[in-house]
Structure 1
């Protein structure tokens, strides 16, 4: 897969292409249905598949006072598109040019002239161009005017709800991790470098890896989670605390994971924590001993969880 970060990097793709566009935040099951349809359409028509998306969330530019938190970061998004078999990924900045280009110019100057588009696959809620003036009705008109094929994919529902990035953010904010995972079609995860923490856990036999937090991300509700942690491309069972560690009166939001049967020094290393199940909320304990007695119970619970769900 070739990743292109600016339209100035190309004059015109030399291949005829099939294109889909959107923010694709989370690349959830609705997105997967759309992307799979794109790839299949391109296979049938012998086209190269193209995703046109953004390195930043458009609503973060359009609504700077209340920008949405993103569900996956740029690295995760690139890896997922690669796994899905996309040939070209345009991941450009949503800037003033993208914000102000008319829907007609977007189709003519970008999709047709730059991307050499022959076919287009989009969701029913597709919007593009200045003030989001471009929609399915306009695309149907353009497809006839410029002679490109148009496939419109209906929304995907689960549990009688339309799968959306907004719904997933809500599930995460409420600690409903299983629901978020079902809508994503995979386990929600965060990626970050391991940094130095207070090292309270090491003194009690629970050494934790403290993860540097990107506060632009949609983060899960405070609590204790059954998790898996990927270190050096190897997956380990773990338990992860998210929140403020009220027993220690910490003011900052923290994410720290205790990796079972693991004693490597991974400071400065990048890890990925996958969230599976929320055990409980955070509790302010009267003593530190009470806290670690509860953590011991949480670890036992987590190990039983893995035994039950990994049979």
Structure 2
């Protein structure tokens, strides 16, 4: 799969394709149904399939910290799109220039001049352009005039309810990881590179592997029993805290994982953290000693969870860790 960052990196060879546009946050089963629709038409027309996404997502640009939480980090999203067999991903920087682009200019600059779209798949509620002035009807009109076809996406339901990113955010907030897996098509997880932190966990006797969330508000907050897949693809049990760490005056969202019975060096490794069960909410403790005691109780609770679920097994992501690309 080819990842193209920005319109300026499109070349003549990228002209002529079957396109869909959206945030694709989570690349859930609903998204996967759209991608299958796009791929089927691309195969029929003997054209490449292209997914257009935005970074940051439009609501993050306009709403900032009030935007919906991220289900999937950028790299995870691209990896999952790749796993679905998409030929190309065009990532557009959502900035003031793009936000001010009229709907007609978006059609002309992105869809026609940039991609030479032959077939476009979007929802009939799709809105685009400055002030969200563009809609499905305008795309159909443009397609009739410019020689490309516009098709509506197929709705995908689980338990008689449409699968959407909004629904998955609520399911994750409720810590219903079984339903989340049924909607996503794989266990809910966050991947990232282990970075150096404050070393506070080591001082407390519970060293942690820290993952940066890049200032994106996560879909989860609290303390969880987790599995971590390290570079060797081995699953290890542990406890994770995801949030702002109020007891130690944290100000940015962070993910910290304490692995049981592990003393290795993970710095610099890319890992996957798979969330299994919520233990408690994140709270502020009176002092560090109270935090230490609670961490010990969290470890006991997580070990008990894994002991009671030893026969269930949780699979790794369908896409294995990619440690060599430059996403």
The TM-score, its normalising length taken from structure 1, stands at: 0.85
> Shift of residue 294 of structure 1?
5.5
Contact 2:204 2:292 in 1 (8 A): no
Regions of 4+ moved over 4 Å: 243-246, 279-291
Residue 209 of structure 2: aligned partner = 209
> Shift of residue 38 of structure 1?
0.6
Cα distance change of structure 1 residues 243 and 92 upon mapping to structure 2, 3 Å threshold: closer
1:281 and 1:96 mapped to 2: Cα distance? 37
Q: Does residue 1:199 correspond to 2:198, yes or no?
A: no
Cα distance change of structure 1 residues 173 and 195 upon mapping to structure 2, 3 Å threshold: farther
User: Is there any run of 5+ residues in structure 1 with no aligned partner, and where?
Assistant: none
- Aligned-pair Cα RMSD in Å: 3.0
Cα distance change of structure 1 residues 212 and 130 upon mapping to structure 2, 3 Å threshold: closer
Residue 267 of structure 2: aligned partner = 267
Residue 127 of structure 2: aligned partner = 127
Cα distance change of structure 1 residues 217 and 310 upon mapping to structure 2, 3 Å threshold: closer
Cα distance change of structure 1 residues 287 and 181 upon mapping to structure 2, 3 Å threshold: closer
Q: How many residues align structurally?
A: 307
Contact 1:221 1:243 in 2 (8 A): yes
Residue 324 of structure 2: aligned partner = none
Cα distance change of structure 1 residues 202 and 266 upon mapping to structure 2, 3 Å threshold: farther
Cα distance change of structure 1 residues 296 and 47 upon mapping to structure 2, 3 Å threshold: same
Contact 1:16 1:117 in 2 (8 A): yes
The secondary structure found in structure 1 opposite 2:220 is coil
> Shift of residue 7 of structure 1?
0.8
The secondary structure found in structure 2 opposite 1:307 is coil
Cα distance change of structure 1 residues 191 and 201 upon mapping to structure 2, 3 Å threshold: farther
Cα distance change of structure 1 residues 234 and 310 upon mapping to structure 2, 3 Å threshold: closer
Residue 303 of structure 1: aligned partner = 307
User: Is there any run of 5+ residues in structure 2 with no aligned partner, and where?
Assistant: 316-327
Cα distance change of structure 1 residues 290 and 136 upon mapping to structure 2, 3 Å threshold: closer
Q: What does the per-residue CA deviation read over 1:151-210, in whole Å, with 9 as the maximum and x for residues that have no partner?
A: 21133222333222222223333333333333222222223324343235884xx65423
> Shift of residue 118 of structure 1?
0.9
> Shift of residue 289 of structure 1?
5.8
Contact 1:73 1:217 in 2 (8 A): no
Q: What does the per-residue CA deviation read over 1:106-128, in whole Å, with 9 as the maximum and x for residues that have no partner?
A: 22232122201111112233221
2:144 and 2:73 mapped to 1: Cα distance? 37
> Shift of residue 56 of structure 1?
0.8
Q: What does the per-residue CA deviation read over 1:112-148, in whole Å, with 9 as the maximum and x for residues that have no partner?
A: 2220111111223322122212222222222222221
The TM-score, its normalising length taken from structure 2, stands at: 0.81
> Shift of residue 287 of structure 1?
9.0
The secondary structure found in structure 2 opposite 1:308 is coil
1:156 and 1:299 mapped to 2: Cα distance? 37
